[in-house]
Structure formats: structure tokens, C-alpha cells
Structure 1
């Protein structure tokens, strides 16, 4: 079985733990590796903060948190164990991980942005995860996709459906000037509406720009 790794970033407000911490002081959080199951989500994480007591008090006030306990301390950071309230929902990034068999190898976040290394069993599983994020409005930026076993990697970050949309549009001549194909024809070839084809092509182009132009 080939393992696929992906390095991605998301805004803090798109991630449940990041959302809880979003309005607090400048800090850095490092997650321990985890597989999201039930309410045992992200039980341990390290925090570097100017005022650890203020950080802990702010997190404990959140209704989604049942308890927060310090289990270890370093020179400038603390290891916390968090227990989530029964009312805690996972309808965002964590749900994308859970429903698509993706494991978090590492995660580091600030009050603004989180960067993750994710592990999936196949490219299809990773593509399904990306598509779930797109369909649910999660702003996911994919910076690198690679296989540790083969050394192969891909930096464009496209989902399978986005790549197919670009291939069909290109083959039909949609990108030529003047265009040789309409969105209706592209959509018909893909088996989707013209509006869906337009959204898929636009998101694919935005992903390519974000991951190949801006990051260079």
C-alpha cells in the first residue's frame, strides 16, 4: 500500500481548535499526532504563549470545552490535555479528516493559520478529502503532495474532479481565443451543469495560482 502525504494550510477559523483560540493572544500550538474518533479529538497539544494562565482561562470559558489540564511543562511551553463537551460538533476540518480516512501526522498553528501534514492511504482518499473541503467551504491550500516510498510529489493541489474539468475544457478548446467550446459543452462532457463546470474550473485555476505562482 502506497502512503500519500500532503502539506496543507487552512485559516484558524476553519479548524475547531483554531476557532476556539482565534481571538486570543499571540501564540503557537503544536498538535500531537491523532486520528479523529468520537469526542477524543485532539486530546493533547503543546502551547507557546506569553501568558499561559490567560490562555488556559480563555479556553476553559468556551462552551465546547469540558476541561483543560496541564500535564507537562517545558522552558517556554506547556502540554495540555483537553476534554471536549458533549455538545462539541465536528462539521468542519475535523469532519473532513474523519469521513475520508485521513490521519494528522503533525499540525502547527497560530491565531491566524494552521499548517498540517496529513497522511492518506491513497491519492483517491486524499482527493476525496480535498473535495469535501471544497464542497463545505473550507479554505484549504495544498502546498505539497508526495509519496515517501517513491519520492514522487505533486505541488498543484488539484482534486480529481478539478483536474478532469481542466483536461476536458482544454481538450474541447474552452481556453482558446476565441473559445471553441461553451461551459454548457464542458459541463455536458463532465456530466454536470454549466454552473458546476464554471465553479470547478474557477476553483482549479485559483488552486493552481495559489500553489504554483504565489508560493514560488
Structure 2
């Protein structure tokens, strides 16, 4: 049986911007590691309009961000895509987690703290992940670990949000040829942008495929 681990990591990504606007909450939607740098991060930033404006201004000078763009604007929410600098790359532990068999379910940050919830196959795997964090100069603080119960995490390690989007896409005929529903129509049902819905679908597909082909090095 696998475990659910909740922990914090002293992640430098957007730390300067987050500390300048501590009331803004960052929720990671997708991580896109680059083979030779230029990794990207897609995330929602939530807060008051004033706090979001402050966060926006600080991103321009944050040393972990090479560039960024706003993909969607909603009341008190913004969907960002950032390209990480070399310093930002240090905080991207996604590849390390996948290599060890750890599935990062949720990543949320505010102020100087970055909180994670992950599915881990064993305590040894979590120990290996912690070692990888330390090698990157990131301090790791385990808050809670417990056996996963039915309903806590879905089959293949999908988050509830990913499962809901994939199920609805299947029911609505998104995967039919030709498609019976568009990305925009599905996004409207979940009250998110088309870009955010595409990111959820892509991340869900990737999670399923990595569960089906765990030993396929390609």
C-alpha cells in the first residue's frame, strides 16, 4: 500500500514575489521540465486585485523567473506561465520525484512556504526524494505521512481534479474523432480557461501513461 505524505520544501521559485505579496496563494497546475533548461511552470495565483497587482510587479524582478505571461484573468485569480531561470530550475523537483516513483498531487505556496502533498510508494522512496531535495540545497520538512485510504487518491495517482476533468471529457466525446465537444466548452463547465483545462488533461494523460509504463526508459 502506498502512502500520502504532506511536507514543505524551501523552494526558491518565485520566493521573492511571494514574500512581497504574502496574501497571494499560488497553486501549481502543470510543470514542464526542459531538457536543457527553459523549464516552465503553469500556476494559478489567487488574492485580492491589489495583492495580485503587487505579485505581478514583483515577478518581473524575481531572480528565479526568466520570463512570464498571463494566460487568463478572472476575478481575484490569474493563470500564469513562467519560464524559469537557472536559479528557478534548482527548485523544480518534478523529474526527481518521477524518477523515484513519487507522484506530486498538490503544490501550493504563499509567503515563504511551499506545501506539497504527494503519493509515495514507500518510506524509502520519500527518504530518497528528501535526499534529492537536500542535494539541490532545498530543506525538506515532513509534516505528516499516512497510509492512503480509498478515495484519498485515485487509481494511477490522478488528483480528484484531473479525474473529474478526464471523466467529463470522455463522457462529452472529447476523445471521439471528430471531437464532439471543444476544449473551450469543457473549460466553461469547470469555470476555468481553455489553457488551464488543457494543462489538466495533459498532466492527467502523463500520470496515467507513467503508471502504465513505469519501467519504460523512453
TM (normalized to structure 1)?
A: 0.54
Q: Is the 8 A contact 1:40 1:84 kept in 2?
A: yes
Matches for 1:95-106 after TM superposition, within 5 Å: 97=97, 100-106=100-106
**Aligned counterparts of 2:63 and 2:134: Cα–Cα separation in 1:** 28
Cα distance change on mapping 1:112 and 1:120 into 2, 3 Å: same
For the pair shown, the structure with the greater C-alpha radius of gyration is 1
1:76-121 residue CA offsets vs partner (Å, 9 max, x unmatched)? 1111111123x34544573864664433211111112221102333
**Aligned counterparts of 1:112 and 1:64: Cα–Cα separation in 2:** 14
User: Which residue in 1 is equivalent to 2:46?
Assistant: 48
Cα distance change on mapping 1:130 and 1:144 into 2, 3 Å: same
User: Which residue in 2 is equivalent to 1:58?
Assistant: 58
Aligned length in residues? 147
**Aligned counterparts of 1:84 and 1:135: Cα–Cα separation in 2:** 19
User: Which residue in 1 is equivalent to 2:28?
Assistant: 31
Cα distance change on mapping 1:88 and 1:144 into 2, 3 Å: same
Matches for 1:142-157 after TM superposition, within 5 Å: 142-148=142-148
TM (normalized to structure 2)?
A: 0.53
Q: CA deviation at 1:43?
A: 1.6
Structure 2, unaligned stretches of length 5 or more?
A: 152-218
Matches for 1:127-146 after TM superposition, within 5 Å: 127-133=127-133, 138-146=138-146
**Aligned counterparts of 2:131 and 2:101: Cα–Cα separation in 1:** 13
Cα distance change on mapping 1:123 and 1:104 into 2, 3 Å: same
Q: CA deviation at 1:138?
A: 3.7
Further displaced range: 74-83 or 25-34: 25-34
**Aligned counterparts of 1:35 and 1:118: Cα–Cα separation in 2:** 18
**Aligned counterparts of 1:44 and 1:7: Cα–Cα separation in 2:** 21
Q: Is the 8 A contact 1:7 1:116 kept in 2?
A: yes
User: Which residue in 2 is equivalent to 1:8?
Assistant: 7
**Aligned counterparts of 1:145 and 1:28: Cα–Cα separation in 2:** 23
**Aligned counterparts of 2:38 and 2:147: Cα–Cα separation in 1:** 29
Query: Which of 9, 14, 17 lines up with 2:13 in the alignment?
Result: 17
Cα distance change on mapping 1:42 and 1:89 into 2, 3 Å: closer
Q: Is the 8 A contact 2:93 2:133 kept in 1?
A: no
